[in-house]
Structure 1
Amino acid sequence: MWGWIVIGAAIAVIVVLAFIAGRLLARLHQQQRRRQEAMTKRNTSLDESVTTLARAMEQGQCDFSEGALRIVVLLDHRAEPEKPDYAAKYPALHQMYERIKHMPTHDARKQFPKKEIRRMDEEREGYERELKDAILKDVRQLREDFREDKA
């Protein structure tokens, strides 16, 4: 008789543990789905920003230096299981980024003397002229790669 009670209790414990494990697995799947949806939403938003900047650069509405700074950072923030080598894929944008990333922007720029700001602007504009054709090529490729209607 005691043997059947122990077996019944053991089965009850197994059923309860199986139920708990099932609920935890369901929560895990739900959490993974939410994380994937959030990652997809974030990447979609980043992609829209990248294509908007690329279009603006192509149309001359955004300086190549500003666009390169922003695009490189946006691409770096994409959540991807295997991150592509964007520096190899868009070399001119990354080359511009590497050349000007040390230059101050916004309020930090205001702390420099006007002569130094003018010198940095001339340096940046020189890089823009030098890399113009290569950057436009990268921007066109980037727009193709991040096309909205691409499935």
Structure 2
Amino acid sequence: MSVLAYTLVAIALLIIASLAFYAGKLLFQLKRQKDVQQKARQERVVRIMESVHTIAWAVEQQQCNLSEGAIRLVNLLDSVPVASPPNCQRDYPNLYNLFLAVRELPTHQQRKALPPQVRAQQDQKREEQEAKLESGILKEMVMIRSLSFS
């Protein structure tokens, strides 16, 4: 082989080694990025579940209105970033049915803007649903407080 051939082979090997090093560096950065994302996801799960357990406890202790608890819990449980989040409709049917009954009711400023008769009708509807579902919801709160994604 000539000097030119050896030179070309050496250059080719140098290019291949450089590309392999660069690919390895990119793979290492990708792994590190995935680890950071996984840690952030796990921390989010922990924060959400702390909120879920606190709200469930407050509902169980009657420190939180059943309707407010239903709205907050269903939305939080639906947002847990895990492979298979709880199915509220299947796992907590009483809570989910109350959520369906009250999720469209206006709150805050929209509620204050309603005529008193309309507010009273909505309150009556909400209270009837709460009374009907209360015992089942309280049982589901015990299940929710034991829920974990470790």
Equivalent position SS for 1:145: coil
Displacement of 1:145: 1.7
Q: Kindly indicate whether residue 77 of structure 2 is the aligned counterpart of residue 103 of structure 1.
A: no
CA-to-aligned-CA distance 1:4-47 (integer Å, 9 cap, x gap): 11110111111111111111111111110111111111111110
Q: What amino acid sits opposite 1:59 in the alignment?
A: Q
User: 1:128 — aligned with what?
Assistant: 130
Q: Which residues of 2 match residues 33-112 of structure 1 at below 5 A? A: 33-112=35-114
Instruction: Find the counterpart in structure 2 of residue 114 from structure 1.
Output: 116
Aligned-partner residue type, residue 99 of structure 2: Y
Report how many residues are paired: 148
What SS does the corresponding residue of 1:19 show, helix, strand or coil? helix
Q: Distance in 2 between matches of 1:84 and 1:2?
A: 67
Q: Choose 1 or 2 for highest CA Rg.
A: 2
Structure 1 segments unaligned to the other structure (5+ residues): none
The CA deviation at 1:137 is 1.1
Q: Is the 8 A contact 2:78 2:86 kept in 1?
A: no
Cα distance in 2 for partners of 1:108, 1:75 equals 26
Check whether the contact 2:67–2:98 (CA below 8 A) recurs between aligned residues.
yes
TM-score w.r.t. the length of structure 2 is 0.94
Structure 2 residue corresponding to 1:140, chosen from 130, 139, 142:
142
* Cα deviation, residue 86, structure 1: 2.7
Moved over 3 A (4+): none
Q: What is the identity, as a one-letter code, of the residue corresponding to 2:111?
A: R
Corresponding residue for residue 8 of structure 2 = 6
Unaligned runs of 5+ in 2: none
The superposition leaves residues 97-137 of structure 1 with CA deviations (integer Å, 9 ceiling, x where unpaired) of 01111101112212211111111111101111000111011
User: Residue deviations 1:69-101, cap 9 Å, x none?
Assistant: 000000111111233323211111111101111
Contact 2:55–2:64, Cα closer than 8 Å, also in 1: yes
SS at match of 2:63: coil
CA distance in 1, matches of 2:86, 2:78: 10
Q: Considering only aligned residues, what root-mean-square deviation do their CA atoms show, in Å?
A: 1.3
